[in-house]
Structure 1
């Protein structure tokens, strides 16, 4: 009788299994590492930089060093004492010599419009000022006797600021540091946010109304015709977005194709052509056309997986075709409706090229003003704050959608 072989050591097997699992995890991490790095560099880092710029603006304090050190002791009541005036004059002289006065003046102008010329003009004459500066500086320009200017200097001397977010919400600080509404002629951005959300919601609804019948036909036509319809749906993706947008300009303008057809049919007179471009109507029409495929494709993916026998079974049990559609078929398409609506709405909220080309004055969205502050006014802090507010609004709406509808309804099939 031969003895039975020894059983393998369970501890050794566990260590081998753990080692194999670690190797598998490292291999999996190596496979997804390029994607993670790409997302980190192109998504996470820009968003973090944007959020940082919206609250961090140390330019004025880095240039007017002495002023930033002493103005913190001012309690904000009355006017500053001679020490603060002297520090400001010394900093103006140094900044003019270093050729950095324009940067500091621009930062101050973000808080109080019109102060850039005040600071640069005073800096040019700072060498001729004599003590006491609390007298000679207001004599140079009486705005230096305005407490609002000094309150703004105290705010911009700090590297951390809430000014940009207040401006994005049409608010500002007063001389006492309280948050108040901006002047009527400066209240712009809240209205733009509402316009952006309303236009995006309307475009989403139009895409669903137009895309649902197209997706339904694609799901129920014979394969050859469905493939042809799919090519027509995908055809816009093969054309540049800029070309598609400029094509709508040719179609919608006063002397364009659509108005010529209206005149030919007698709908309008030649003198009463309809203004369809450079307003919200043009923006909505062009955006609906461009974003329509993003609704059709999710709907088609869901409808293709719905068995036709379900509707036929409902009709055989006594339901009318309309009732079978609304009670059986339509609820099954909810995942596609939800996914298409989310895709289109998020894309519409951040659209830039189409509103810029066809929107005119009343069709501009918040993204156009973000681009304006990034490229022309160079107020990157305000642009970052506008972007952050827009991002927060989109995340809030997505959270509400998740609570009301559920993420599971976005799964295709």
Structure 2
């Protein structure tokens, strides 16, 4: 695996830390900027919306740029807005930096996924994808707890400075190792790429990816109240459970990256079925501490392993969209990340209790199985029609 692919993973680690670290910093931000905690929480929502909207828009903006230029532009903007965020005393300015940072993050993700696949080659497509996605899982394991610790020791601004500083070595390695020129092949037009991305199989795969991420983040967002009010674990267990989920996620993307290129359909199908069964079991056994600890690890493995497999499927189906495929995969990931917690909150608000997000996750996975089955049917239909045609031709010849 080229070293530059790991630099892309380091940059994604910094960006993933930024995306999720505010959950441990909200009270400090609210007190320092004299706003309410819900207003501080809007900073997270603003980042999520910027990621969804920004992925395709930023990919279109930079599609004709050399990949190194695009990666450096987006990553430098991302680092710069964190410096501004660390210095500002204005809530409005901080909110703008979160939106701009999300746009830059989305643009970087879109280009980084395409670049990693191109550098690794078709035979290591999924492994390269797993390295980039693995940056997010390492952020969950180490970056987010470290950001919360920095915020507790030196204030929330220290976490913003840390994100900017971690971005610097990635900037240096990308500048030194990513080829400066454009790829040798002529790019299709933006309209042709969009036509490719509008194909039914690809749309169904993107929808499946969004549903899987929705199920993942629906449950993940409510681990704290589930652990405390359903399982009966103390608040001291919550960081350990989150770190355990992140550890499972890292294992999942690593293992999947090594096997998915050999058996893509079988591994993805097995992952979807196991993930669905896992959320059902989690919802049923949420009162057992032993079951919860085990399932947090296992579901982290399955969720991010299956998510990585689906992203690699997007690239396999979107050969005709070399610059925009990554942006659509990124948008689908973040649509799920925004949809899942919202649906889980609706279930809790309806009086269904803190266990209900786990059942919502299971329901989302049932729908994901349906969309994945529909995509597989479309994959099989042309081959079936070809076999029928050959059989009829042979009969007429006979």
Structure (1/2) with the larger helix percentage:
2
More RCO (CA 8 Å, sep 6+): 2
Q: Which has the larger radius of gyration?
A: 1
TM-score normalised per structure 2? 0.29
TM-score normalised per structure 1? 0.28
